[in-house]
Structure formats: C-alpha cells, structure tokens
Structure 1
Amino acid sequence: MTGRRASARTAGAAASGRTPGRRPGGPDTRGEILRAARESFAGKGFSGTSIRAVAREAGVDAALVHHYFDSKDELFIESMALPIDPRQVAARVLTGPREELGHRIVTTFLGVWESPDGQQRMKAILRSVVSSDEVARLMREGITQMIIAPVAETLGVPDAKLRVSLVATQLIGIAMTRYLIELDPVASTPVAELVDRIAPVTQHYLTN
C-alpha cells in the first residue's frame, strides 16, 4: 500500500511537471541561494555556514547548490560581492587635500556600513575573517593590494604601510563595536558625530 501511494505521488508530480522533494532550479534559484548564503555568513561566519544549511534556507537540495557553486569558498566569494569596489575606495579617499585624508577615509568606510545591503555583506565578511584563516588571507591580500598600498604610496614616508595599517585597526574596531557587538553609545551615535571624533585620530596616524 505504501509503495502504491508513493508511486501515485510520483506519477502526480510528473503529470503536473513537478518533481517530488525540494523545488528544482529556476530563474531565481541562484539568487535565492546567494541570498541565503549572505544571511548565513552574516549571522554565523564562514566556519558556521554549511552548504546543507544554505540549501535548506533557500529551499533547494544541496546538490543544486553544488551545481551552481563548486565549493563553500566559491559560494562565499560570490555572495560577498563587495558593496563597493576597493579601487574606487582608494581613489575616493586620495582625491582632496592631504590634511582631510583621515576625514575622507572614515566617511567612506562608515558610508559603506550604513547602507542596509552593505552592512549585511560587511558583517558576513568580518565574521568570516575572524572564523576562517583562508578568508582572512584573501581579505588581507586584497585590501593590501587595492587599498593599503595605493594610500601608503601617497604619504611618502618610510613607515607609510604601518601608518595605514594603524588606521585599519581603528576602522575595524569601530565596525566591531558599532555593527557587530552593537555597544552603546557607539552603536546609536549619529554617523556625522562619529566621523568628527574618529577622523582626527586617523589623520594623526597618517601625517603626524
């Protein structure tokens, strides 16, 4: 009896053009997988995210995730398409008076975090950097090549890379405190006030 019921379900699904189980791939399937992956990486980091969990959230089989993405690494890279091109960041902060460099860096950085889509992606990246050596390596190499090196070259001092790296510690600290830990009053302070308070510190690292 059980076998006849299963056969009937399969036949009914075939007649209606559907397959039993999770939904098959469709025009929006890849996008749904990326959405589910971004949410998982943002909430759990790289190590806490699995292909199966992403598939379950997207409502598809894990095999379908593998159809679109060869590995979790590839899924991470695709889903974390940065909300802003790092090369554009470097160009933006380098355009203008040298004495306002710290202000432009902080304004640009917080501007990325303050957009809803940017914040979700940046949270995922930051959590994954903390939990995965491989993700940390990828981000370190990318940031060094596309942001730290170009900014350091404009300073014209022997310890330029150290100076820019110290700025990075300031920015990562504010991101952790405001957006991940959500520690008040930093988390609730208006962005303009944060920029006014942090910019002089970053400027000091760069030019003093």
Structure 2
Amino acid sequence: MTPQERARSRGPRGGDSDTRGDIVAAATRVFGEKGYAASSVREIARTAGVDPALVRHYFPAKSDLFVEVMRPLAENDERVVALLALPRERLGDGLLRLALDLWEDPVTGARMRAVLASAVSTHEVGAAMAGVMMRDLVLRLVREDRAPERAAACATQLTGLALGRYVLEVPPLATASRDTLSALYAPTLQRYLDGDLSG
C-alpha cells in the first residue's frame, strides 16, 4: 500500500467518495459469506479498503454494523410514512400488515431471518435490532403514556409471530391468511399502541 493509500484508509474520504457506504457494502459481502459470528471488523475494513478504526467511527460495535446491513427498511421509508398517516384506530392492523409485507418480501425477509437467527444466539445483535426497531418505527406509533412499555410489547408480539410463522412454521399459523392474522393480532397490537394498559 502506498503512503497515499494508507492516509486515505485512516480518515474520511474526500470528494464524492462514500466511506460509510463502502463500509456497509463490504459488511454486506462479508456477513453474507461468513455469517455474523465468523465475521470480524478487521476483515470488513480490509474488504472496504479502510482502517478498522474508521469502521468503528461509523459503527461503534460489530452488531451495529450488522443491523445496519440487515435492517429491513429505513426510518423515512415511504411505507413507514404511509403507516404514520393512518387514523390511530387502524394502526394495529397497519403495523401488522407492514410486518407481514417485510417478512414475505424475498430480500427483506431473508435479512430478517438472518437477524433473528443471530439474535437468538448473540445477545448484542438482539439488543441492537430491538433498539433500531423501537427507534425507527414502534416508538413513533405509540401513545405517549408508558411509551417504552407499549413499544416493547408491540415488538415482542411481532417477533413472536414472525418466529412462529416464518421460522418454526407452526401450523396453522404458517398458512393462515392475512385477514385471519389481522383478526388474531391487530386488536392486541392496537391496545398496546393506543389503548388502556391499566387492566
């Protein structure tokens, strides 16, 4: 490596270069080939052509980078915007159907399975993904009173459904129609989002 290349690898790049994007692209490749546990920040940095310290500048923990690579949608995604625009009494159904859309999409569904599998075996991944899910989506939907409890209840309800339907394929959950799932889950989600939690 030349002195110029070494200098470039140690700090943010100038011009039109997207250092953060290069790191995410490299992480996508490495995680895809090796999985979470067998991947290292050093290898991701080498693949991106940057210093490991620069990776940690953008992503303090490996789990943060993994969640960034695997996250199913951005906080400003048009589907999130549409969900936020629904009347409050329809939020439970809207949240459920968005979750089903994400799990049944070939690309985002595969990412979410990878995250769920890693979260089961690695606590830091589960904690990081829960934080993203709460911050980017659920906390933006819930009523202000007891917001953290409401958001956590919604997140665990949806995670349990995903595990049963898409990973364990528990019958008849795995083959139930969306309308059937809405009748089962949407009222509970609606209560968590906007209902009375005192009972």
Category of TM-score, reference length = shorter chain? 0.5 to 0.7
| 1:183 equivalent in alignment to 2:170 | yes
Show the 5 A alignment for 1:28-39.
34=28, 37-38=31-32
Paired residue secondary structure (2:172): coil
Higher relative contact order (CA 8 A, sep 6+): 1
Compute the TM-score of the two structures, normalised by the length of structure 2. Answer: 0.65
Which residue is 1:68 aligned to? Answer: 47
| 1:172 equivalent in alignment to 2:136 | no
1:99 to 82, 89, 105: 89
In structure 2, how many angstroms separate the alpha carbons of the residues matched to 1:142 and 1:132? 16
Task: Deviation per CA, 1:67-111: give whole Å up to 9, x if none.
Answer: 21558938735642x332134354332212111110000011111
Consecutive unaligned residues of structure 1, counting only runs of 5 or more, are 1-29, 53-62
Task: Letter of the 1:101 partner, please give it.
Answer: L
Which residue is 1:200 aligned to? Answer: 187
Check 1:121–1:137 CA distance in 2 against 1; reply closer, same or farther (3 A cut): same
8 Å Cα contact 2:27-2:66 kept in structure 1: no
Check 1:138–1:192 CA distance in 2 against 1; reply closer, same or farther (3 A cut): same
Check 1:193–1:67 CA distance in 2 against 1; reply closer, same or farther (3 A cut): same
Show the 5 A alignment for 1:44-193.
46-47=36-37, 50-51=38-39, 67-69=46-48, 70=52, 73=62, 76-77=66-67, 79-80=69-70, 82-88=71-77, 90-152=80-142, 155-156=143-144, 158-193=145-180
In structure 1, how many angstroms separate the alpha carbons of the residues matched to 2:89 and 2:65? 41
Check 1:103–1:75 CA distance in 2 against 1; reply closer, same or farther (3 A cut): closer
Compute the TM-score of the two structures, normalised by the length of structure 1. Answer: 0.63
RMSD after superposition: 3.1
Task: Letter of the 1:203 partner, please give it.
Answer: Q
8 Å Cα contact 2:113-2:167 kept in structure 1: yes
In our comparison, the structure showing a higher alpha carbon Rg is 1
Which residue is 1:10 aligned to? Answer: none
Task: Letter of the 1:93 partner, please give it.
Answer: L
Report the Cα offset of residue 145 of structure 1.
Answer: 2.3
Consecutive unaligned residues of structure 2, counting only runs of 5 or more, are 1-23, 56-60
In structure 1, how many angstroms separate the alpha carbons of the residues matched to 2:190 and 2:128? 27
8 Å Cα contact 2:26-2:47 kept in structure 1: no
Task: Deviation per CA, 1:92-134: give whole Å up to 9, x if none.
Answer: 3221211111000001111100111111100011111222232
In structure 1, how many angstroms separate the alpha carbons of the residues matched to 2:110 and 2:129? 17
